[in-house]
Amino acid sequence: MLTTTIPYAASSRTPAMSPEFADSARSPVPPFDLVLFGATGDLAARKLFPALLQRQIEGVLPDGSTIVGVGRSEMDDDAFRAQLAERIGDGRDRAALDAFLRMVRYVALDVERPETFAALVPHLTDTARVRAFYLSVAPAHYAATCGALATHGLVTPAARIVVEKPIGHDLASAVSIMDAVGRVFTEAQTYRIDHYLGKETVQNLLVLRFANTIFERLWSNADVDHVQITVAEEVGLEARAGYYEKAGALRDMVQNHLLQLLCLFAMEPPNTLDADAVRDEKVRILKALRPIPEGEVLQRTVRGQYRPGVVGGRAVKGYAEELGRESAIETFAALRVEIDTWRWAGVPIFLRTGKRMSGRFSEIVVTFRPVPHSIFAGLGADGALAPNRLVIRLQPDDGVQLVTMAKIPGSGRLRLRETGLDLRFGEAFENRSPDAYERLLTDVLRGQQTLFMRRDEVEAAWRFIDPIARGWADRYPVPHRYTAGTNGPAQAVGLIEREGRSWLEQPGG
Ligand code: BG6
């Protein structure tokens, strides 16, 4: 197989990048106080504290900054530090960990009891410095938390708030949550996280499209036949029943991660990388998504739920068995969408995501139109020429693969086969690929909003999702079953194959 790894060469021209975004990775993080609500929770232990520790080891976090963990359980700073060391310290250099823990304090309070916020006040005395409140708690607590912060005079001009997706469970609830936050923090102070935007390869999508000339010229209905976006996971319910039973794959993944990927893939080139320039273009795509009315959900969408199977060589339970009861929530969703713009009209875009699929892989596959007239009739593998495909692999093994036709070497009869130009970022660059939260947390501290969702994006995404959710409730209440370790129910194959296309599966998928 003709496989070439091409490292990135330095450009001879200085790209016209927005200084705000491009320099943000180089501009120093100012001294800060970061208050982390939900500090004893899962996200904090798995992602937030490890990301902060990593940034501290890299020397990015200035001396004198503090991280105040907030939780409900009563404990003192030392007890919290000891708990944290146990949860995140594995394999870390002890001196580095200790230096990090010295930045950390702990405050016990109840976000639903405003008077308990008094305990936070002595930790936030420098009103001039950057102050970030990270709400790693259920959205139902956002209003009370913001209200209490305001009541205690903690919301300074340099304060900012960070909230996680999904915001609400439909447009109305999202609006009410965002209104409550908006009464205390301005839009410029609000950072809505979709951690997919912090992933290296997702940012690389912008670079691939807008730092190269060759792709953008092919990036439209003139040359693209169809697009597939897959986010497949191996994990199952993971002790998140309380949350997942209300969300399901549509609200947990499609409303945010998949639609964000679609926006970055499809948006028009922004004039700069400034937050609003990029977000203006993304929101245009969300608004141009052709609605899927309730009456069309059976033709244009598929819901699935995994039953027992084998994933990664290991027997796993079905969703209902993990949950301990029957459930009608979907762990898999596939959608056929269209973007009603001049550029994309007529190009079907297939989105799918699921838990307990054949592997963990996320990718965007762009299939180009076939050659208009083939002079190689009958010489391809099954007689036909395979269309060119660009595979943008987001994880794991991130990279870009361009599938092309080539001649099989030999002096006999001319024969053709698909081969690939294969760029693997892990091989092309020695740099460690950082976790999404490492970038996002320091962007918050630097005041850089490009990789965060603006309010109108969240609303537009819900406007698209709501009719699907209603259609599912009315007409598609029971998801189709799929065996864990496969790539969703057969109906998802039907969704794409009835249009003469098929999912590009990972090897072994
Ligand atoms: C989260 C979802 O936002 O993303 C999870 O709530 C999902 O259900 C996770 O597992 C996937 O993220 P990643 O970074 O592992 O692809």
pLDDT in tens, 287-335: 999 999 999 999 999 999 999 999 999 999 999 999 999 999 999 999 9
Ligand 1 atom at shortest distance from the alpha carbon of 395: 16
Give mean pLDDT, residues 159-166.
Answer: 95
d(CA 434, CA 425): 12
Q: Return all residues near 100 (Cβ < 8 A) that are at least 6 apart.
A: 52, 53, 56, 57
Between 275-288 and 259-266, two packed helices, what is the crossing angle to 10 degrees?
Answer: 110
Collapsing DSSP to helix, strand or coil, 231 comes out as: strand
Q: Which of 152, 257, 373, 480 does the annotation list as catalytic? A: 257
Q: Which amino acid is at 391?
A: V
d(CA 293, CA 319): 28
Return the residue whose CA atom lies nearest to atom 11 of ligand 1.
233
Predicted confidence (pLDDT) at residue 19 exceeds the cutoff of 50: no
Predicted confidence (pLDDT) at residue 456 exceeds the cutoff of 80: yes
Question: For residue 341, how far is its CA from the centre of ligand 1 (angstroms)?
Answer: 30
Q: Give the mean pLDDT of the chain.
A: 92
Question: For residue 295, how far is its CA from the centre of ligand 1 (angstroms)?
Answer: 30
Collapsing DSSP to helix, strand or coil, 215 comes out as: coil
pTM for this model (two decimals): 0.92
Short-list 461, 460, 442, CA closest to 451:
442
312 conformational bin, left if phi > 0, alpha if psi -120 to 50, beta if neither: left
Return the residue whose CA atom lies nearest to atom 9 of ligand 1.
253
- Testing ligand 1's pocket by substitution, the residue of 257, 306, 393 carrying the most ligand atoms inside 8 A of its CB is 257
Predicted confidence (pLDDT) at residue 15 exceeds the cutoff of 60: no
d(CA 342, CA 333): 27
Count of Cβ atoms closer than 10 Å to residue 231 Cβ:
23
Return the residue whose CA atom lies nearest to atom 8 of ligand 1.
252
Q: Which residue has the tokens 């200035």?
A: 62
Return the residue whose CA atom lies nearest to atom 2 of ligand 1.
252
Ligand 1 atom at shortest distance from the alpha carbon of 165: 3
Predicted confidence (pLDDT) at residue 11 exceeds the cutoff of 60: no
- Is the beta carbon of 457 within 6 A of some atom in ligand 1? no
**Residue 425, pLDDT score:** 85
pLDDT in tens, 188-245: 999 999 999 999 888 899 999 999 999 999 999 999 999 999 999 999 998 889 899 9
Ligand 1 atom at shortest distance from the alpha carbon of 194: 3
pLDDT in tens, 464-477: 999 999 999 999 99
Question: For residue 235, how far is its CA from the centre of ligand 1 (angstroms)?
Answer: 9
- Is the beta carbon of 252 within 6 A of some atom in ligand 1? yes
Provide the pLDDT confidence category of residue 12 given band limits of 50, 70 and 90.
very low
Torsion of CA 166, 167, 170, 172, to 10 degrees: 180
Question: For residue 47, how far is its CA from the centre of ligand 1 (angstroms)?
Answer: 11
Active site residue 169: no
**Residue 21, pLDDT score:** 52
- Testing ligand 1's pocket by substitution, the residue of 136, 165, 202, 233 carrying the most ligand atoms inside 8 A of its CB is 233
- Is the beta carbon of 233 within 6 A of some atom in ligand 1? yes
Question: For residue 256, how far is its CA from the centre of ligand 1 (angstroms)?
Answer: 11
Ligand 1 atom at shortest distance from the alpha carbon of 243: 6
Question: For residue 233, how far is its CA from the centre of ligand 1 (angstroms)?
Answer: 8
**Residue 16, pLDDT score:** 39
Q: Which domains does the chain have, with CATH numbers?
A: 19-164 (3.40.50.720), 197-497 (3.30.360.10)
**Residue 1, pLDDT score:** 37
Give the dihedral sign, CA 499/501/502/503. negative
Give mean pLDDT, residues 347-372.
Answer: 96
Cβ atoms of 391 and 365 within 8 Å: the answer is yes
- Testing ligand 1's pocket by substitution, the residue of 252, 306, 361, 394 carrying the most ligand atoms inside 8 A of its CB is 252
pLDDT in tens, 418-454: 888 888 888 888 877 889 999 999 999 999 999 999 9
Highest mean pLDDT among 331-345, 381-395, 427-441: 331-345
Question: Would you state the structure tokens that stand for residue 240, as one six-digit string?
Answer: 């998140």
- Is the beta carbon of 294 within 6 A of some atom in ligand 1? no
Ligand 1 atom at shortest distance from the alpha carbon of 436: 14
Give the dihedral sign, CA 491/497/501/507. positive
Short-list 140, 129, 119, CA closest to 69:
119
Better-predicted residue by pLDDT, 316 or 377: 316
Return the residue whose CA atom lies nearest to atom 15 of ligand 1.
233
Question: For residue 230, how far is its CA from the centre of ligand 1 (angstroms)?
Answer: 13
Question: For residue 224, how far is its CA from the centre of ligand 1 (angstroms)?
Answer: 29
Ligand 1 atom at shortest distance from the alpha carbon of 233: 10
Return the residue whose CA atom lies nearest to atom 6 of ligand 1.
252
pLDDT in tens, 117-127: 999 999 999 99
Question: For residue 48, how far is its CA from the centre of ligand 1 (angstroms)?
Answer: 14
Question: For residue 198, how far is its CA from the centre of ligand 1 (angstroms)?
Answer: 13
Ligand 1 atom at shortest distance from the alpha carbon of 164: 3
pLDDT in tens, 474-501: 999 999 999 999 999 999 999 999 999 9
The CA-to-CA distance between both ends of the chain, in Å, stands at 21
pLDDT in tens, 71-104: 999 999 999 999 999 999 888 888 989 999 999 9
**Residue 25, pLDDT score:** 52
Predicted confidence (pLDDT) at residue 2 exceeds the cutoff of 80: no
**Residue 417, pLDDT score:** 87
CB under 8 Å, gap of 24 or more: what pairs does 399-403 form?
399/201, 399/423, 399/424, 399/425, 399/426, 399/428, 400/208
Angle at CA 236, nearest 5°, toward 234 and 242? 150
Count of Cβ atoms closer than 10 Å to residue 206 Cβ:
17
Cβ atoms of 236 and 319 within 8 Å: the answer is yes
- Is the beta carbon of 363 within 6 A of some atom in ligand 1? no
Ligand 1 atom at shortest distance from the alpha carbon of 256: 3
Predicted confidence (pLDDT) at residue 255 exceeds the cutoff of 70: yes
Give the dihedral sign, CA 238/40/449/184. positive
